[in-house]
Structure 1
Amino acid sequence: MFLYIHGFLSSSQSSKAQYLKQWLQQQGRADEWLCPDLSPNPEKAIQQLRALIINCKQPLKLVGSSLGGFYATILSEEFNLKAVAINPAVTPHLLLKDKIGVHKAWHCDENISFTQQDVNALKAMDVQMIKHPDNLLLMIEKGDEVLDYRLALDLYKDCNQMIFNGGDHRFSRFEQLLSFIDQF
């Protein structure tokens, strides 16, 4: 069972979430896909994800991108789960502090409010060290125009890693690596 965790302002309609869903359907495994539309409030989002993990009757593998990679890392450590962190936000409280305000969501017409309390919540969740590095696979593209990939290299230094030159924040190789992600 895969729990795909989308990033900031994104949703279950993100391209990577949909690629994973379609790939699982092609494998005859459509029932192995979970991807909730998360609250923009980090505390509510992490609680949504914890509840899904606790209530899931099957073994879970987490796959998260950007802010979703941050959440996947937290939950991997907390629940001792395998996780794939794709171009993860390492210090989202610093990255998103300039995003305080109202934003249009990427996949719908909904306006999303992001506050200083949300920034503070992300700072309180900050991951200083990975305690179970064998559970994590870091996948980064150095061409990420949003995040500094070197921060991820430092935090995930003892984890499994796939590092690619070029690419972008969207992680352009995702579809090509679905079988590898499945095997991790």
Structure 2
Amino acid sequence: MVSLQPDLDAGLTGRLLIAMPALVASPFAQSVIFLCAHSTEDGAMGLVVNRRLGQPGFDELLEQLGVAPRPPRRRIMLCAGGPVENSRGFVLHSADWTGDGSLAVDDSVVLTASLDVLKVIAGGAGPRHALLALGHATWAPGQLEQEIQQNAWLAAPSNDSIVFGSDHDSKWRRALGSLNIDPIRLSSVVGHA
């Protein structure tokens, strides 16, 4: 039998966290989170990638930040990245562009928290794939590991179509599908064999 529990000692940086039915009554119900950092000593930080942010729109946000040109030559999606510091923006993007304030998550994904990336994107250039998340999710050391053991989350390999895709409504189902799990068959009851 194949175990769905990840090797937590190896770290989960660059992987997806998929909310299980146990989180149905939480703000993370049916969330898909890209983990930007994870270690057993420091905890974890990630961005919810399947919660479209209605307001402000990308153009309005660029105007608030004083980023030109207006209108921008290129737009990216905005997500509600999580409940922590929801007025702070993070651009998660492909590794084909880096700048000041960029942190490589892995070989293919970079996290940038400076305005430079937004200026380049508004100008029509920048990374091939990108999304802007307002806010983030964090876990204290040991907290995420405990939640995974309690079946609150599944970890899955990341892929660009889930992280950067525009169909937010299907990301949770597609992330589960990447593990060959049918969401209809999930139960919120925790058991041990």
- TM-score normalised by the shorter chain: which range applies? under 0.3
Structure number with the higher strand fraction is 2
Structure number with the higher helix fraction is 1
Relative contact order, CA 8 A, sep 6+: which one is greater?
Answer: 2
Find the structure with the greater CA-based Rg.
2
